[in-house]
Amino acid sequence: MAPGRATCHDRAVTNVVVLRHALGRAVAVAGWIAALSWLVASWPPERTGLLFAAATSGLLWVTCWRPAVVIDDAGVTVRNPLRDVRIGWSALDEAGFGWSLRLRAGDVSCRALAAPGPASMSALYDRHVTPGGVLERDAVARAGQRPAPALLAVRQRWEACRFEPSGGVTVAPAVASIGVLAASLVLLVATAVLA
């Protein structure tokens, strides 16, 4: 085994795990399909319609499509709409969960928009049949007992790699995301002015 390579039970840990919010991705796709359908249906579209479609497409990309949690051998990267946080496994102090994945390394803490928990609104509607044959909605009581998949993925890799040298903490603005957000807001203002 190469020096510096993380191991888990004497085998290399090499796969990169990318976690994204499935509902956010679905909302983005639905929004893009709706915008495209509207543009096709109103062909040739008005200038304000084109501006509005472009603006909403940018907003959907920033808020719903781009956010992710990337887990690899060297650390975890949280990509949120306005900033990216990269934390090496040896620098990570805490990995917890509230409504979303929460990481802390020294003075830096972040929440991952792309990693919602099992106690999300969908859990309120989980049902099961009791041994007596009664259909119950009990996910609210059980939600705290089910571990969040994102938290499990982070903790498993952290446990396997925490003692390997893996770098520190890097916090950087999400330049592309901020640029798309600014352009989208300018397009929305232009749409309102031209309407």
Closest CA to 185 of 59, 65, 61, 45: 59
Confidence of residue 145 (pLDDT cuts 50, 70, 90): low
pLDDT for residue 4 is more than 50: no
| Residue predicted with more confidence, 176 or 127 | 176
User: What does the pLDDT read at residue 171?
Assistant: 96
How much is the pLDDT for 45?
83
State yes or no: pLDDT of 83 exceeds 70.
yes
pLDDT for 133 beyond 50: no
pLDDT greater than 90 at residue 139: no
Q: Is the peptide bond before 44 cis (omega within 30 degrees of 0)?
A: yes
Give the 3-state DSSP-derived string for 151-193, with helices as H, strands as E and coil as C: HHHHHHHHHHHCCCCCCCEEEEECHHHHHHHHHHHHHHHHHHH
How confident is the model over 105-124, as pLDDT tens digits?
A: 999 999 998 887 654 444 44
pTM, two decimals, is 0.76
Question: Encoding tokens for residue 195?
Answer: 């309407």
